[in-house]
Amino acid sequence: MMICLLGALAGCVQQQVETTNVSSRDTPIKPADAQKRAKIHTDLGAGYYERGQLGVALDELKEALRVDPNYAPAYNVMGLVYMELREDGDAERSFRRALEIDPLDSDTNNNYGWFLCQHKHEDQSIKYFMTALKNPLYATPEKSYFNAGICMRQKGDEQAAEEYFLKALRIRPGLPQALYNMADLSYKRSKYTEARAYLLKYQQVAPPNAESLWLGVRTERKLGNRDAEASYALQLRRKYPESKETQALKKGQFE
């Protein structure tokens, strides 16, 4: 659909050139038209980013900013691309520029918060996650709560992490990552029945991975349910034979 839009736009420009005999370079772009074109290129850039085509994504985003140098969403997506490329300086500059233009944009605040968290600035990251949540129209507030929880776990503040995970789950009860983290936190606090309950909810919304199966093995072992423990262990061996979790299982290293 976006490619068709680009084609239609190119056709309109070509028709104007043939009618007026003025080149497109000599025709000033109206602000509204510039923003529309910037959005098209930004949407394309975001699509390429999601598919891992980072070079093409950057080309589209640079074109978006050539058309409209103040289009904040383009800087936001560009920050994500540079994060993926591990070009941290360019990533931070892109996020900061987006926030200069639109300081209250929820997606940019969330993404910049995550960038800061990845660089061990956990306390600073929370400020941006909370700013993202101030917008009542923010479509995915559970993401910012979850990201805040991960940052607090990374910092070692498990109480704050739990509070953020629970807030994420109040908004989206089936958020897999939050359910797994709550199960893991519960296990570490010796709340094994609670850990089992979160794991069962996790299994209803996400396929098992090596980490969740291994947590299941250890939880059921603590609860004395040998049948359930054996079932988790069998799945772990079959599906992830080379994983570090399976190696720990074979060695009997349950803690």
Provide the pLDDT for residue 32. 73
Q: Which two tokens stand for residue 163?
A: 């509070």
pLDDT the model gives residue 28: 55
Query: What pLDDT is recorded for position 128?
Result: 98
Percent of the chain past pLDDT 90, that is, above it, reads 85
Span 173-255 CATH architecture: Alpha Horseshoe (1.25)
- 169 — phi, psi (to 5°)? -75, -25
Q: What is the pLDDT of residue 17?
A: 29
pTM above 0.85, yes or no: no
Q: Which of 101, 193, 103, 181 is nearest to 142 (CA)?
A: 181
User: Can you read off the two tokens belonging to residue 201?
Assistant: 């909810």
Answer for the pair 243, 210: CB distance below 8 angstroms, yes or no: yes
Kindly list the domain boundaries of the chain, sorted by start residue.
173-255
Over the chain (255 residues), what is each successive 10-residue block's mean pLDDT? 30 31 47 88 96 96 96 97 97 98 97 97 97 95 98 96 98 98 98 98 97 98 97 97 96 90
Contacts for 150-153: CB closer than 8 Å, 24+ residues apart = 150/117, 150/181, 151/113, 151/117, 151/122, 151/125, 151/126, 152/122, 152/126, 153/181, 153/185
